[in-house]
A = this chain, B = another copy of it.
Amino acid sequence: MKYLNLDRTDAYGKLKEEYSSGKERLSLPDLLSAERIRSCSIAAGGGLTYNYAAKEVNEKVLRLLSDLAAETECIEKYRALAGGERMNTGEDRRVLHHLTRGELAGPVTEKDRDLGAFYREQQKRIADFSRRLRAGEITGSTGKSFSTVVQIGIGGSDLGPRALYLALKNWCRTELKSPLLEARFISNVDPDDAEEVLSSLDFERTLFILVSKSGTTQETLTNRALVAGMMRSAGIPGLDPERHFVAVTSETSPLAGAPGFLDSFFIDDYIGGRYSSTSAVGGVVLSLAFGPEIFERLLAGAHQADKAAMEGDVRRNAALMDALIGVWERNICGYPVSAILPYSQGLHRFPAHLQQLDMESNGKQVNREGSAVAYSTGPVIFGEPGTNGQHSFYQLLHQGTDIVPLQFIGFVKSQTGYDTEYENSTSQQKLKANLTAQIVAFAAGKKNSNLNKNFPGGRPSSLIYGEQLNPEALGALLAHFENKVMFQGFIWNINSFDQEGVQLGKILTSQVLGAAEKRGDLLDTYARLLKL
């Protein structure tokens, strides 16, 4: 395979030329039409459809983007990655999160070990454990059944699983007959985070899930100690913290096989933290809370999206099209930020997960061989649910001096089905009407001679939509963005799978916490401001 920096590709030069010479052919208000809305749809798996009608890309640009995908060998690299090639070059690791939901390119073996079988085996162990615990066969140390699970983890061990839990809990509560366990999350080293969660728990009926791939995450180990200490000081006769903890870690970590856990479930170095929601990192908490069948449906949706992303024709590959248009907007149009706007309250923490996924993967300035790149890479990602955002930051999106490309997400039906009619429409109809109105308002704008009331339009968006936010749709949504980010990493020729940017902070934190003479002047002076 060829690994070219973006600015060495033929397509990049042609795209820049098309942008500078063809601006008048690229007016979004002119481009957008009913016919275009009908034709710019791509199935994305899990019942989802990606629609890019309101993106500022004409036929010529789409052809060049297709050339760019071919020239950067996006599909070939994806196939190689799925087949087990060591695409995480900085850490010399495979990248196998796809394999947690199914094989895409046959089995991946290492020293005669089938890695897909390993992930499946863990999932089976999780499913068995979950069924027994949910049936009351596994109880707490005082003999009571568990009603709450608390995930202790940070970053990828927190944001993805938490966003997925919040996205499905109301659907599950409405749809399922079997009872749900409540899930809570402790992530921050700020002791107020743990204290708030712990202050309302019934320890006898709570299972803690300690999640750290390396087994050395400072925040997570500190919170384990804090939780165990609070349990011991609760003075509950017979309460044994060790029988209220399970671990999710790698087999080579200091936590693996360590005493103090009821059971342990494993991942390996080929599952990056921000890509770990479909591994045991998300699997334990979601299987315990909702039952393993729900988690398996989520995996099936993700696998569908993964398969859809293998399609070679860009116009039939939603994740690849999304990635290419993102590169167009970032590198050719020069837009540094993108917003995620789900019109579904269940997705209220999904943008925070995508923020990590995208910014930690592609916020890099060196290519996969370690040389500096001369172009922009990952954008800043932020977002809040609509319609809330309409009453908040949309002002800037509509009338600010910068253009921010938008990613709308919406569903035909609500999750819980509860609704009311008010002034001739239901809440769900109002929600969808607002979504529809916003896409058109951003794209087409509205002229007004009073410039304060003028809407310039030309603000591009895409829409991912489906029938309902159910486990399959959520799995596909998750995988769609993982694959988009992966494709963009290929196009930028960067390694989307390491995160060296977190290291310096760790070193300096140790210096601050160590002997004062090692802090150095700057650390020491700031530390003194904070009375440290």
Contacts and interface: CB of A to CB of B under 8 A. Distances in A.
Given A355-B393, A392-B356, A513-B424, A436 B226 contact: no
Top 3 closest A-B pairs, CB basis? A363-B396, A155-B391, A437-B508
Nearest to A531: B412
Interface stretch (A115-123, A259-267, A288-296, A336-344): A336-344
Nearest to A91: B452
Interface string A368-409: 001111011110111011111011111111111110100000
A489 to B, nearest CB: 13
Interface in A425-463: 425-441, 443-446, 450-456, 463
Contacts of A206: none
- State the copy count for this chain: 2
Contacts of A439: 526
29 contacts: A33-B521, A34-B524, A51-B529, A154-B388, A158-B391, A188-B345, A189-B431, A191-B416, A193-B345, A219-B391, A222-B420, A222-B422, A226-B420, A336-B337, A356-B391, A359-B392, A363-B399, A365-B401, A370-B451, A380-B404, A396-B501, A432-B527, A433-B532, A434-B505, A436-B509, A436-B526, A440-B526, A444-B522, A465-B529
A502 interface: yes
A226 B427 contact: yes
Interface string A483-513: 0000000000001001111111111110111
A191 B400 contact: no
Given A192-B418, A226-B422, 14 more contacts: A191-B414, A191-B420, A195-B414, A196-B345, A199-B416, A225-B422, A352-B392, A376-B402, A394-B501, A398-B502, A433-B509, A434-B509, A445-B504, A452-B498
A453 B503 contact: yes
A190 interface: yes
